[in-house]
A and B are shown apart, each in its own frame.
Chain A
Amino acid sequence: MSKPVRIGFVLFAIALLVSGAWIGLAWAPPDREMGHVQRIMYMHVPAAWMALLSATMNFGACVSYLWKASWKKDAFAEATAEVGLLFGTIAILLGAIWGRPTWGVYWAWDPRLTTMAILLVAYAGYLALRRFVDDPDRRAVWSAVVGIIIAVDVPVVYFSVKWWKSLHQVQSTPRTVDPQMVIALRWNAFAFLAVLIVFLVTRYRIALAARMRETTVPDAPAGAREAVAS
């Protein structure tokens, strides 16, 4: 991508985000049950979606890396984990804030929020592992293994938490709500998607540049030649 296209896309993402905030805060009507608190959903749900999307992409990158190693896949895995952690954190914080007026408590051990919290700790471990291993090859393979294990754990965690305690009844997908709310949610979902793309691409390039710095072989010295012992 050329530089003007990149800058243009960044501006586009910002515009989507700003307009999305206006739509969510002012244009969309308040919910019959939850009143204005419902507006938190326009940020919370897209953030959660982006976190899950990042986790899925991380899983894909990890599997693909073990299939055939490449620094690009490793860099992409690093980017998805970090950006996913960001969106996941936002989603959890917003979920807790939404829970306070709705459920009366910040944390109600709702299976989806709890799974997300466990996932965040797991990805924090993933990123810590990446930081604590210096050898790029080892780091790439080991973090790919850890990434696969975390991703495989997600449904198991979800089921176990659901069985352990279930509180979450209302499914907040567009189908159950007012058309204006659907538009607000979709608009913000696309805004977050644009931001996600900007973040992923940027973080990926940072990671790839770091990999290249780590793995470029210095030139052979002048006068070095092959040794043949016979």
Chain B
Amino acid sequence: MEIRGPEPIGCKNCRTTGSLGANGTWAACVSRRFRTVHLSSNDVELAPALHLHEVSKRYGARWALVRVSLTVRRGTALLLTGHNGSGKTTLLRVLATAVRPSSGKVEILGLDAALEPERVRAQVGLLSHAHYVYEDLSGLENLLVLARLLREPGSAATEALERLGLSPKDDRPVRTYSAGMRRRLALARLFLKRPAVALLDEPFVELDPTGVAELEARIRELRSAGTTLVLATHHIEQGLQLCTDRLHLEQGRSIAA
């Protein structure tokens, strides 16, 4: 079936995205005044995975992101590079709706992150420095809490653990885990959720070479399942092997590379 999108009006705020309308037509009509988002299913399906318009974020006296604009199509794997403190983590956290940008507009899969954070969050998975796991619970218990909140069966939690090479029978608390095991558990959370957009913040640190190889295989699995990927890392070679595009950040400003 031929999909005919609506008129290519693009993002209300920026004309640049209008050019996207030429081949992949999408439109998001956002009425801030009534706090509603009018999107036809076609629009949502055709909207880019991620769209940022002039996004800035300030922490205390420091600007972590300065007017970053970015559009990422679906199925893309974007490599995010930059020095420490260049804003990679902040960018990922903004995309995950973990922090609200100080100014600017974020759209994930055609949904306005400021207006519909819940719907955005249901589609996005963030692998962050903080692993979102309870230290006093075992790996399985942690995943079971998540599975219940996602209405997944308990077997899904077991499966996710096994897929990452962790034993569901291991009832030690996470407090006793090594750094590599924690990272695997955090990834198991991501696999349990199966998000449409996966945001990975430095996934390779603290992993031994076998761990890195395994992780690469898992990331390829995500890619082949059509997941849109944003990968922030200092391991540029590994990143370039996995990703199709690259964005370089310097002092919170985007330098497309």
Contact B72 A229 (CB under 8 A): yes
A177 interface contact, C-beta 8 A:
no
| B256 with A225: CB separation less than 8 A | yes
Q: What is the bound-complex CA distance between A137 and B60, given in angstroms?
A: 10
- Residues of B51-91 whose CB lies within 8 A of A: 54, 56, 58-61, 63, 66-67, 69-73, 76, 78
Can you pick out 10 interface pairs between chain A and chain B where the beta carbons lie within 8 Å of each other?
A134-B60, A214-B61, A215-B103, A217-B56, A218-B67, A225-B256, A226-B71, A228-B70, A229-B245, A230-B245
> Chain B residues with Cβ under 8 A from A215's Cβ?
58, 102-103
Q: Are A218 and B63 in contact (CB under 8 A)?
A: yes
Instruction: List, in ascending order, chain B residues with CB within 8 A of A225's CB.
Output: 69, 256
Neighbouring B residues of A214 by C-beta, 8 Å:
58, 61
Chain B residue at smallest Cβ distance from A230: B73
Known A135-B60, A218-B63, A220-B253; judge A229-B247 contact (CB<8 A).
Answer: yes
Count of chain A residues with Cβ under 8 Å from any Cβ of B? 18
Contacts of B78 in A (CB 8 A): 229
Q: Are B76 and A230 closer than 8 Å at their CB atoms?
A: yes
| A-B contacts, CB under 8 A, total | 68
Cβ 8 A contact of A227, one of B54, B103, B254: B254
* CB-defined contacts of B59 to chain A, threshold 8 Å: 134-135
- Complex contacts, A137 vs chain B, CB 8 Å: 100, 102
List 9 A-B pairs, minimum CB-CB distance, nearest first: A229-B245, A227-B256, A226-B69, A220-B67, A134-B60, A230-B73, A217-B56, A229-B72, A228-B71
CA distance A74 to B245 in the complex (A): 42
Cα of A218 to Cα of B66 in the assembled complex, Å:
7
Residues of B within 8 A of A229 (CB): 70-73, 76, 78, 244-245, 247
Using a CB–CB cutoff of 8 Å, the interface residues on chain A facing chain B are 134-137, 214-215, 217-221, 224-230
Number of B positions contacting A (CB below 8 A): 29
B14 touches A226 (CB 8 A): yes
**Cα-based distance from A135 to B62 in the complex (angstroms):** 10
Q: Which residues of A contact B76 (CB under 8 A)?
A: 229-230
Q: What's the Cα separation between A134 and B59 when bound, in Å?
A: 8
User: Counting CB contacts under 8 A, is B150 at the interface?
Assistant: no
Q: Is B255 an interface residue (CB 8 A)?
A: yes
Per the bound structure, the CA–CA distance linking A221 and B252 in Å amounts to 10
Contacts of A136 in B (CB 8 A): 58
A219 to B54, CA, bound (A): 10
* Cα of A224 to Cα of B255 in the assembled complex, Å: 6
Q: A135 to B102, alpha carbons, bound, how many Å? A: 10
Residue among A217, A220, A229 with the most chain B CB within 10 A? A229
Q: Tell me the complex Cα distance, A135–B72, Å.
A: 29
Residues of B within 8 A of A230 (CB): 71, 73, 76, 245
Main secondary structure of the interface of A (DSSP, over half): loop
Q: Which residues of chain B (1-53) have a CB below 8 Å from chain A?
A: 14, 16, 20
For the A-B complex with A217-B58, A226-B69, A227-B69 known, give 11 more contacts whose Cβ atoms are closer than 8 Å.
Answer: A134-B59, A136-B58, A218-B63, A218-B66, A221-B66, A224-B67, A226-B70, A227-B70, A227-B247, A227-B254, A229-B70
Give the residues from 149 to 175 in chain B that come closer than 8 angstroms, CB to CB, to chain A: none
Distance in Å: Cβ of A46 to nearest Cβ of chain B:
40
With contacts A137-B102, A215-B58, A229-B78 taken as known, whether A224 is within 8 angstroms of B254 at the C-beta atoms is yes
Task: Determine the chain B residues whose CB is within 8 A of the CB of A134 once the complex forms.
Answer: 59-61
B256 touches A220 (CB 8 A): no
Bound-state CA distance A214–B103 (Å) is 12
| Closest chain B residue, CB of each to CB of A225 | B256
In the complex, chain A residues whose CB is within 8 Å of the CB of B254: 224, 227
Considering the chains assembled together, what is the distance between the CA atoms of A215 and B100 in angstroms?
A: 14
Separation in Å of the A212 CB from the closest CB of chain B? 12
How far apart sit A219 and B20, CA to CA, in the bound complex (Å)? 25
A228, B69: Cα distance in complex, Å: 9
Q: Which residues of B contact A227 (CB under 8 A)?
A: 69-71, 247, 254, 256
A215 to B253: give the CA distance in the assembly, Å.
Answer: 17
Q: How far is the CA of A85 from the CA of B247 in the complex (A)?
A: 50
> A residues within 8 A CB of B102?
137, 215, 217
Q: How many Å from the CB of A85 to the closest CB on chain B? A: 25
Interface string of B233-257 (1 = CB under 8 A from A): 0000000000011010000011110
